[in-house]
Amino acid sequence: MSHSCCRTWFASALASLTLLMAASGALRPQEPAVPPKQAEPERSVKPGINEKWKSDDIDPLVALLEAEGRAIYEQREQLAALAGPRKGSVVADVGAGSGFMAEIFARLVATEGKVYAVDINALLLKRLAQDAAAKGITNLEVVVCGEREVNLPPNSIDLMFICDTYHHFEYPVSTMKSIHEALKPGGQIVLVDFYRIEGVTPQWLMDHVRAGEEVFTQEIIDAGFELINAHYPPFLTQNYVLRFRKTEKD
């Protein structure tokens, strides 16, 4: 083959290859890479609801929680018996407040068991730790948590007690995810919250509590739990008590 013939053959082969690549899109200018979408952080479902609970002035908060006339406080022994932690079990009181329930749980689980009193308010917990020490309670540990996570070791808890606190979770999806992670397989939640019934519940409570039993139940099921039972104890005038079990997520 002559040189000129060879050049012609090469030029026509190159042209065919270029045409082929153009048709297949291989020569299209590269589109700028789209950065992967970041998951939006969960928004507060009730901004401002914990303003009071973040206060350093804790005496009024303790007085509110331990008020005579507050059924949860007056009937605390019955409520603890209904929650029913077993001797030797590990309990977390999430949103422990002044900690009167955590102290009862510490007695019920006995020294073979353990209670974590968890709250966002470090001063309430400091007061509780001092009170527990003065009473010689050795199996109660306080844990300052964040607004989005309970700050407990994974797979460590048998029973999470959440009393008048779920409606204070500003970031319920994140908080419930951390609760799910901290529970042992088959671990349970006992949830105590307010009835919210149009025309029956006082207006201040309707405004304060963002949703009722049905909505909270669905949110907790969505977080990886099943409802085991519901109690409407006559000794609690304003509250229902729900028990859930952790299901394993796939």
Ligand X SMILES: C[S@@+](CC[C@H](N)C(=O)[O-])C[C@H]1O[C@@H](n2cnc3c(N)ncnc32)[C@H](O)[C@@H]1O
Residues that bind ligand X (CB under 6 A): 50, 53, 65, 72, 94-97, 118-121, 124, 145, 147, 163-165, 168-169, 175
Nearest of 115, 84, 121 to residue 100 by alpha carbon: 115
DSSP string, the chain: --HHHHHHHHHHHHHHHHHHHHHHTTTSPPPPPPPPPPPPPPPPSSTTTTTGGG-S--HHHHHHHT-TT-HHHHTHHHHHHHH-PPTT-EEEEET-TT-HHHHHHHHHHTTTSEEEEEES-HHHHHHHHHHHHHTT--SEEEEE--SS-----TT-EEEEEEES-GGG-SSHHHHHHHHHHHEEEEEEEEEEEE---TTTS-HHHHHHS---HHHHHHHHHHTTEEEEEEE--TT-SSEEEEEEEE----
| CA–CA separation, 210 and 188 (whole Å) | 24
C-beta closer to ligand X: residue 50 or 139: 50
Question: Smallest distance from the beta carbon of 175 to ligand X, in angstroms?
Answer: 5
Question: Smallest distance from the beta carbon of 102 to ligand X, in angstroms?
Answer: 9
C-beta closer to ligand X: residue 90 or 145: 145
Question: Smallest distance from the beta carbon of 30 to ligand X, in angstroms?
Answer: 46
Question: Smallest distance from the beta carbon of 215 to ligand X, in angstroms?
Answer: 17
C-beta closer to ligand X: residue 84 or 146: 146
Question: Smallest distance from the beta carbon of 57 to ligand X, in angstroms?
Answer: 13
C-beta closer to ligand X: residue 73 or 184: 73
| CA–CA separation, 104 and 76 (whole Å) | 8
C-beta closer to ligand X: residue 171 or 244: 171
Q: Which two tokens stand for residue 136?
A: 């010689």
Question: Smallest distance from the beta carbon of 23 to ligand X, in angstroms?
Answer: 59
Question: Smallest distance from the beta carbon of 145 to ligand X, in angstroms?
Answer: 5
C-beta closer to ligand X: residue 175 or 188: 175
C-beta closer to ligand X: residue 9 or 235: 235
